[in-house]
Structure 1
Amino acid sequence: MLKSVTAGGNIRIHKNYFHISGAAVLIEGDSKDWFESGAVNRLEISENIFDNCAYIPAWGKAPIQVSPSAKKLEAGSYYHKFMSITHNIFRCFDRRLLWIKNIEQVIFTDNRVELTKAYKPVSQNRFVTEHVGELTLQDTESGI
């Protein structure tokens, strides 16, 4: 199980299966209190299966969550740098895919989304973004 990812270098999450009650991939970063984890430079998430993740909302806002704890958000300045999410399968009981905050560039392309009835829907927001510099969202093959 992969829970939290923070590293200054390049990270690749490739060909994994996730079925977890919270966020499958959680990118944090503490720039407010403890300063115990740093920013992510480049993260590639590809060819994974996200199977009904984040069914307990207190443990995850979406299957992929980026939520650094910055004190303030400044125009043109981002805590995390780059994330690409490509060629994944999202089996979801509601519309949530990404909850992302304070990142310079995000690419979400060529993913497949399948609707399930595994759990009661939590939210209808597919993408929740706050302070994202460049966001590329390509239509996904979807039942939701």
Structure 2
Amino acid sequence: MSDTLTLGCAHCGAVNRIPAARRADGPRCGKCKRPLFEGAPITLTSANFNAVVERSELPVVVDFWASWCGPCKVMAPVFAQAAGRLEPDLRFAKLDTEAEPALAGRFGIRSIPTLIVFREGRELARQAGAMQPAQLEQWLAAYRL
């Protein structure tokens, strides 16, 4: 692992470089001063997707979901709890497929929930369907920094 990590700010889109060894020390965006990690999933939109997912050297786990989806509602608290436990070894983000159909289409989302692990915009892994907390953590263990 490099001595520094590049992370995009979900709030203003600024790209930040932080010391990798200090990512657990509450880093803030150099532009807007908001925390880069909040212990909760980031809401992705077409406006912040590039900064958060494509420019991040830290793996980003994206939950593709929709409000009408029953399994998505079951998965939401599991995903939020994982964000609280596993950040800053991973970043967690949610993308509403109804609000952002172009992004969902770009990644060929056919069923929801679908989780994709990205690093610097490249897809590393994909999992369709809701998971229990232990299953999710086991699946993500290979991608943690």
Q: What TM-score comes out, normalization by structure 1 length? A: 0.33
Q: Which structure features the higher share of helix residues?
A: 2
Q: Which structure features the higher share of strand residues?
A: 1
Q: What TM-score comes out, normalization by structure 2 length? A: 0.32
